[in-house]
Amino acid sequence: MSLRSKIVLILVTVVVAYAALDNGLLRAFAGHAFGRWEREDAAQDLARVQRRIDAELQDLLGKARLYAGMEAMSRFVGGAAPAFADEDLGPEAMERAGVDLFYVCDERGTVLWGNVLDPSTRESVRLREFPREALSLNHEALLFRAQAGHVAGVMMTHLHPLLLATVPVRGPEGALLSAEVSGFERPAHGAIVLGRFLGPELKQRIVDGELALVSDKTHAAPRRIELLDPGAPDLPAELLRTEAGQVYRAGEDGLLHAYDRLSSLRTGEKLVLHVALERTIEAHKRMSVNYALLSTLIGGLLILLVLVRLLQRIVVAPLTTLTAKATEIGRRDDTSIRVGMPRTDEIGQLAGEFDRMLEKLAKSRAQVIETARLAGMSEIATGVLHNVGNVLNSVNVAANLATKKTEDLSLCDLEMLVGVLQSHERDLSAFVGQDPRGKHLVPFLSELAGALGTQRKSIQDELRALNQGIEHIAELVRAQQSFAGTKGVFENSVLAEEFEGALSICRQGLMTCGEIEIVREFAELPPVRVDKHKLMEILVNLIQNAGQALAERGGSERRLTLRLARAGERTARLEVRDNGAGIPAENLTRIFNHGFTTKKNGHGFGLHVSANAATEMGAKLHAASDGPGRGAAFFLDIPMQVTSVEEPALAAA
């Protein structure tokens, strides 16, 4: 993934995470606040309905007080004006007062006058809860409160819920209405009980008044207000169970339902107020939260775009250039390329450092190449000197022998013969023919000629070996002079002859190693194209190492076997085997390392140079040994179809 994509991904993740967190918090806090607002709205409705009902009760109370304050009423209750009821009380009076129930009781609860009108038909009806004859002194309508001195509240009846207000009627004589029940400070001798049914009409009136009020408010959510009997369906269980205040429920119909209970005169009875509110506030909340989310996202995206653009210009683009340059340098292996970024910030410094590093790299690379070249030269020079040294040993020995043999030439005999012949210069024929010494002259001469011939041959052999060695040295020196560019010259060679040549170079050296049996096992092989001098170099090294290994072992039956065979259809194998000191298994590959030697005066170059030479001519050199004291064998495998100079190099590669 590119740097740019990563940055974009990180920024997008940050924006989305921020938006999610912000939205979550907003939902939690705004949800809470909006929900409270919504409930407060419903609670206000509930409270206003409560107040309206209270107002109705106050109205009833006021009317009851009016009646109780009438002197005629006081006298009627005291039994002094029995006609009062027939004249001043009746359905018309009730209609005027706007009440559905009118009871006048004396201090014992005896109903002096009483009537109940159906709210819809306005006919007189019997109300189970209000007997016509008398109300018990425990009747809710007579349970005056000490503090208030009156009764006001809702009472459930079998017809409708009833708003009820009772006030005492005081007489001058102060006849008592049961003191512990009434708790009156002053004596009373009767009571006025007024009631108004909370029937459908009144309910509607209250609700309509409420709704009219609400609809005056701007942006008010549509709502439904109801006064429900306790038996109404779908009331929340907790409303009936507990005495807790209001109950709110978010309905599946998408409305908020708020419930409250009206205080009732009879415990256990509950007239329920219900407000069902459309959740416009909730909808507003959702919409605002969504708008907030949208604006956060849009704002975040805008910031993101600006940031990405800036990062692209300030960071990504320069880094991309830097990366492209680095890649190009790697691909083209060209340390002359420079980034060249004229900036002063960290990226500019990085680019500057990068360029400086390249500068140093180019310099040190040139140094390394030079060092490697010198090292290569010195390694090759070492190899060449080593081989020259090897050959010079043989050359030295051959020259010494030739000198010695020249010294040994039978010249004394010849000088002695010349002296004898000079002394008989005048009678040479008589001396040769008659003198007994002269008779030996011819056989002596022929013997001398034979001896001189043999000595000449021996000297010639040494001189030939000397020549061969010198030629080899010359070739080695030529190779050294032109090591960098030249490749060896390949010629058709008879491998057996090459073996013999190498052996003759080493012969004198081998002689210094004591008595060694040399075994030749040469198979018939066609001529093979090889670089003769490289081959010579390798064989001389192998034979010398074998001689040294045999010398190291000591003892008798020391054998050097030179074998020529096929190692496959197209490979010739030259093997140099000895039964000398042997090689430990762990050294079998190390012996080819430059400088590895186990010899006191060794250099560890011979096998290294030989292995390199083998590779250069497309051959392979490897060793085998059964371990210390059990001899060693070196194999040089040469491909036989080599016909050109380039091919071995290819094969070697």
Ligand X SMILES: Nc1ncnc2c1ncn2[C@@H]1O[C@H](COP(=O)(O)OP(=O)(O)OP(=O)(O)O)[C@@H](O)[C@H]1O
Q: Which does 386 bind (CB under 5 to 8 A by kind): ligand X, Mg ion, none?
A: ligand X
Distance CA 1, CA 7 (A): 10
Closest approach, Cβ 598 to ligand X, in A, equals: 3
Q: Which is nearer to ligand X, 390 or 468 (CB)?
A: 390
CB distance 636 to 619 below 8 Å: yes
Q: Which is nearer to ligand X, 46 or 564 (CB)?
A: 564
Residues in region 570-609 near Mg ion by CB under 5 A = 606
**What amino acid is encoded at 463 in this protein?**
L
598 touching ligand X, by CB under 6 A: yes
Helix, strand, coil percentages, rounded to 5, for the chain: 55, 15, 30
Q: Which does 615 bind (CB under 5 to 8 A by kind): Mg ion, ligand X, none?
A: none
Sole residue written with tokens 């001529």: 527
Q: Which is nearer to ligand X, 410 or 598 (CB)?
A: 598
398 CB contacts (<8 Å, ≥6 apart)? 462, 463, 465, 466, 469, 508
545 touching ligand X, by CB under 6 A: yes
599 touching ligand X, by CB under 6 A: yes
Closest approach, Cβ 635 to Mg ion, in A, equals: 17
Sole residue written with tokens 């075994």: 519
Instruction: Give the range of 111-119, 136-144, 545-553, 643-651 binding Mg ion by CB under 5 A.
Output: 545-553
Distance CA 57, CA 151 (A): 10
574 touching ligand X, by CB under 6 A: no
393 touching Mg ion, by CB under 5 A: no
509 touching Mg ion, by CB under 5 A: no
Q: Residues 81, 406, 596, 651: which binds ligand X (CB under 6 A)?
A: 596
Q: Which is nearer to ligand X, 464 or 590 (CB)?
A: 590
Q: Which of 53, 54, 55, 43 is nearest to 259 (CA)?
A: 43
Q: Which is nearer to ligand X, 461 or 616 (CB)?
A: 616
Q: Residues 76, 113, 499, 605: which binds ligand X (CB under 6 A)?
A: 605
Sole residue written with tokens 């002094």: 80
Q: Which is nearer to ligand X, 469 or 580 (CB)?
A: 580
For residue 309 the two structure tokens come to 């653009």
103 CB contacts (<8 Å, ≥6 apart)? 111, 113, 114, 115, 130, 135, 141, 191, 192, 193
Q: Residues 338, 604, 645, 649: which binds ligand X (CB under 6 A)?
A: 604
Q: Which does 546 bind (CB under 5 to 8 A by kind): ligand X, Mg ion, none?
A: ligand X
Q: Residues 114, 509, 580, 648: which binds ligand X (CB under 6 A)?
A: 580
545 touching Mg ion, by CB under 5 A: yes
325 CB contacts (<8 Å, ≥6 apart)? 337, 338, 339, 354
Q: Residues 203, 261, 274, 386: which binds ligand X (CB under 6 A)?
A: 386
Q: Which is nearer to Mg ion, 74 or 545 (CB)?
A: 545
**Of how many residues is the chain composed?**
653
Q: Residues 46, 398, 401, 581: which binds ligand X (CB under 6 A)?
A: 581
Closest approach, Cβ 592 to ligand X, in A, equals: 7
Q: Which is nearer to Mg ion, 149 or 628 (CB)?
A: 628
Measured CA to CA in angstroms, residue 646 lies from 479, 490, 617, 618, 638 at distances of 17, 10, 9, 10, 15
Count of residues of this chain found to bind ligand X when the rule CB under 6 A is applied: 23
Residues in region 102-141 near Mg ion by CB under 5 A = none
Beta bridge partners of 191: 105, 168
Interaction pattern, residues 620-639, with ligand X; x per rule: CB under 6 A: ------------x-------
Distance CA 36, CA 22 (A): 21
Q: Where are the beta strands (DSSP E) in 63-185?
A: 101-106, 111-116, 151-156, 161-169
Distance CA 295, CA 453 (A): 121
**Alpha carbon distance, N-terminus to C-terminus of the chain:** 40
Q: Which is nearer to ligand X, 332 or 599 (CB)?
A: 599
Distance CA 303, CA 477 (A): 78
Q: Where are the beta strands (DSSP E) in 182-250?
A: 190-197, 223-228, 247-250
Q: Residues 246, 406, 561, 597: which binds ligand X (CB under 6 A)?
A: 597
Q: Which of 611, 539, 606 is nearest to 575 (CA)?
A: 539
Instruction: Give the range of 146-154, 361-369, 455-463, 538-546 binding ligand X by CB under 6 A.
Output: 538-546
Helix (H, G, I), strand (E, B) or coil at 169: strand
Closest approach, Cβ 644 to ligand X, in A, equals: 30
Q: Which does 325 bind (CB under 5 to 8 A by kind): Mg ion, ligand X, none?
A: none
∠ Cα 640 644 645 (to 5°): 110
CB distance 586 to 643 below 8 Å: no
385 touching ligand X, by CB under 6 A: no
549 touching ligand X, by CB under 6 A: yes
Q: Which is nearer to ligand X, 279 or 386 (CB)?
A: 386
Q: Which of 494, 504, 495 is nearest to 461 (CA)?
A: 504
Residues in region 606-645 near Mg ion by CB under 5 A = 606
Instruction: Give the range of 89-97, 171-179, 479-487, 581-589 binding ligand X by CB under 6 A.
Output: 581-589
Distance CA 38, CA 49 (A): 17
160 touching ligand X, by CB under 6 A: no
Q: Residues 583, 621, 640, 642: which binds ligand X (CB under 6 A)?
A: 583
CB distance 271 to 260 below 8 Å: no
Closest approach, Cβ 604 to ligand X, in A, equals: 5
603 touching ligand X, by CB under 6 A: yes
Q: Which is nearer to ligand X, 241 or 600 (CB)?
A: 600
Distance CA 207, CA 45 (A): 10
Closest approach, Cβ 536 to ligand X, in A, equals: 15
Residue ranges in 554-622 assigned as alpha helix (H): 606-616
Closest approach, Cβ 594 to Mg ion, in A, equals: 13
Q: Which of 583, 409, 399 is nearest to 508 (CA)?
A: 399
Q: Which does 516 bind (CB under 5 to 8 A by kind): ligand X, Mg ion, none?
A: none
**What amino acid is encoded at 136 in this protein?**
S
320 touching ligand X, by CB under 6 A: no
Count of residues of this chain found to bind Mg ion when the rule CB under 5 A is applied: 2
385 CB contacts (<8 Å, ≥6 apart)? none
Residues in region 253-292 near ligand X by CB under 6 A = none
Instruction: Give the range of 236-244, 421-429, 503-511, 544-552 binding Mg ion by CB under 5 A.
Output: 544-552
Q: Which of 174, 177, 128 is nearest to 149 (CA)?
A: 177
Closest approach, Cβ 537 to ligand X, in A, equals: 12
Rg (CA), the chain: 69
Closest approach, Cβ 614 to ligand X, in A, equals: 13
Q: Point out which residues bind ligand X (CB under 6 A).
A: 386, 541, 545-546, 549, 578, 580-583, 591, 596-599, 602-608, 632
> Which residues are at the interface with Mg ion (CB under 5 A)?
545, 606
